[in-house]
Amino acid sequence: MHTRTLGQGLAVSALGLGCMGMSDFYGPADDARSTDVIRAAVDRGITFFDSADMYGPFTNEILVGRALAAVRDRVTIATKFGFERTADGGWVGINGRPDYVRASCDASLSRLGVDHIDLYYQHRVDPSVPIEDTFGAMKELVDAGKVRYLGISEAAPDTIRRAHAVHPLAAVQTEWSLWTRDVEHNGVFAVTQELGIGFVPYSPLARGVLSGNMPDPATLTDDDFRRHNPRFQPKNLDINMRTVEAVKAVARRIDATPAQVAIAWLMAQGDHVVPIPGTRSIDRLVENIGAASVILDESTVQELSEIAPDGAPAGQRYNDLSDVYL
Ligand SMILES: NC(=O)c1ccc[n+]([C@@H]2O[C@H](COP(=O)([O-])OP(=O)(O)OC[C@H]3O[C@@H](n4cnc5c(N)ncnc54)[C@H](OP(=O)(O)O)[C@@H]3O)[C@@H](O)[C@H]2O)c1
């Protein structure tokens, strides 16, 4: 797998592995199986792994840290703070206070079993705390050697600029896929290009939909995020599946799978773009890694871009959009 560089010099595999679904949001966890998937990813050249303290909550970092312990020096571990949760899965709120940043980092280091975090993101911006205060505390973590690079997730362009002025950012992580296109028009992608910040698209497969193999929503467990997400409600999903049919047609034509096409389309948007598809299956991991070898020509990239223009999907991407682009 070739590498790409995030920000000022964080070299990672051109495709990362999202580990969230191994512990939360997409149904029951199976740590043994997920450990095998993480290790299979390492064997196939993936060096970039994405976690967060709130996935589980608190269990995903333990899983990721253990699975990668033997290869710790060869991989980049990214994690996040900012969504405050209780151990039983409850939600407290968004917290960007400096004391919380420091305590969260120490707790993540301990759960991951590492002496430093390679890439530390603020998961969501706390509107009650100036971003300079939050990133001032994150910069101190870099100075103390606890963190190597900083990132931010789902922030507005001006917030990204202000955070970057406190300490250069290596990555902005935001939802981006063929069915969530707003970063192309709201200044978020443009600001990463302008400031030389890496872009890490999350949910690049639209939470499974763009693979063309999404399970029947009626079979999802009640704690599955998609069960209650507007875009997955039957009426909206019927409309949204038209995008998938069009992606499938392109995939057939170029002898790739729909998941590979969806990931390759993102990778074609810029050399600083590193998608992090998530899976709990080695077969799907191998399929998704294949996307790094799918080179789309300009006209196919354009065709895909026209298949699903910004705003085309029916239903919002989250029930509550009040904590994004702050
Ligand atoms: N910053 C944030 O706020 C934020 C929010 C969401 C996610 N993330 C990060 O982004 C990562 C990726 O996003 P995501 O997991 O939400 O969505 P995703 O990568 O778009 O899709 C994951 C889903 O697709 C399925 N899948 C993956 N590859 C497949 C394939 N080839 N064929 C069929 N199904 C496939 C997976 O099922 P199986 O697991 O059963 O294979 C899983 O249900 C997460 O793991 C997390 O690290 C960050």
Q: Which domains, from first to last, does the chain contain?
A: 3-307 (3.20.20.100)
Give ligand 1 pocket residues (Cβ under 6 A): 18-21, 26, 50, 123, 153-154, 173, 202-208, 211, 213, 259, 276-281, 284, 287-288
For the annotated catalytic residues, the residue numbers are 55
- Bridge partner residues of 84 (DSSP): 93
Residues 6+ apart with CB under 8 A from 116: 109, 145, 146, 147, 148
pLDDT for the residue numbered 311: 85
Q: How far apart are CA 311 and CA 309, in angstroms?
A: 6
Residues 6+ apart with CB under 8 A from 100: 81, 84
Residue by residue, pLDDT tens for the chain (326 residues) are: 999 999 989 999 999 999 999 999 999 999 999 999 999 999 999 999 999 999 999 999 999 999 999 999 999 999 999 999 999 999 999 999 999 999 999 999 999 999 999 999 999 999 999 999 999 999 999 999 999 999 999 999 999 999 999 999 999 999 999 999 999 999 999 999 999 999 999 999 999 999 999 899 889 999 999 999 999 999 999 999 989 999 999 999 999 999 999 999 999 999 999 999 999 999 999 999 999 999 999 999 999 999 988 888 999 999 999 999 99
Reported for 244-252, long-range contacts at CB under 8 A and 24+ positions apart, including other chains, are: 244/209, 244/210, 244/212, 244/214, 246/307, 246/308, 247/178, 247/210, 247/212, 247/304, 247/307, 248/212, 250/300, 250/303, 250/304, 250/307, 251/212
pLDDT for the residue numbered 312: 87
pLDDT for the residue numbered 140: 98
Lookup: tokens for 113: 């079993």
Give the residue, by CA position, lying nearest to ligand 1 atom 31: 284
Count of residues for the chain?
A: 326
Looking from the CA of residue 226, the nearest atom of ligand 1 is 43
Does the model's pTM come out above 0.75? yes
Hey, which of 203, 265, 276 would you mutate to test ligand 1's pocket, going by the most ligand atoms within 8 Å of its Cβ?
A: 203
pLDDT for the residue numbered 308: 85
Determine how many CB atoms are found less than 10 A away from the CB of residue 180: 21
